[in-house]
Amino acid sequence: MLFRSMTSAAGMAAGVCAAGLALWGCGAEVTGQVATPPAGSPSATSDQRAVGAPQDDRCRTADLDVGLGSEANHDMRGTHLPLQFTNTGSQACTLHGAPGVSYVTGEGGEQIGLPATRETDGPVVTLAPGQTASAGLFESSAPLKTPDCRRVDVGGLRVYPPGSTDPVFVAEDAVACEPPMNGPFLGVGPVEPGPDNTGL
């Protein structure tokens, strides 16, 4: 399980939550928000096309293999790992911005908690066939540190590649909380060249 607590001291949980983990969902109010599609191997390349440039060459979900990289980093807040996008098509395509990501109960299952916060400012990334780019994904450890959290087992991630309305399911073992402590417990950055981006 990639989603690990970096401390098991329950006595620190409330203080940590009040000091900063509230940003990631401690005591968040239920809003009923549902994840929506975002607007918008070897290393990929990038260019600086304007945000309003034509997107006819953007990568289709059907031509992408989406998964989690193995190079995870851990800190007091949680786990940082790369969410990878590999072009499995026969032509080059582009990705721009951050994907939409949410926890779900399983493939085709219900969303758990609020969708990931997104940092969308990134380059236009061109993926040749077989190339991989990645977005930094953050999984908060707050559910494991918060005494009042009624834990919910996560079956995976629902991921909308940038510019796509067709989601992909990525299997992942994690833990979230039932409302009202329903997050967000995820954060994601823009897609950037290279398979191992973990920064946010």
At residue 59, the 3 state secondary structure works out as coil
Dihedrals phi, psi of 12, to nearest 5 degrees:
-85, -15
Instruction: Say if residue 180 is preceded by a cis peptide, omega within 30 of 0.
Output: yes
What is the reported pLDDT for 171?
96
pTM recorded for the entire structure: 0.73
What is the reported pLDDT for 9?
36
Cα angle 129-85-6, degrees, rounded to a multiple of 5: 150
Residues 6 or more apart in contact with residue 81 via CB below 8 angstroms: 2, 68, 69, 71, 72, 73, 136, 137, 139, 198
Over the chain (200 residues), the average pLDDT of each successive run of 10 is 37 37 37 48 49 68 96 90 97 97 95 94 96 97 92 96 95 92 94 93
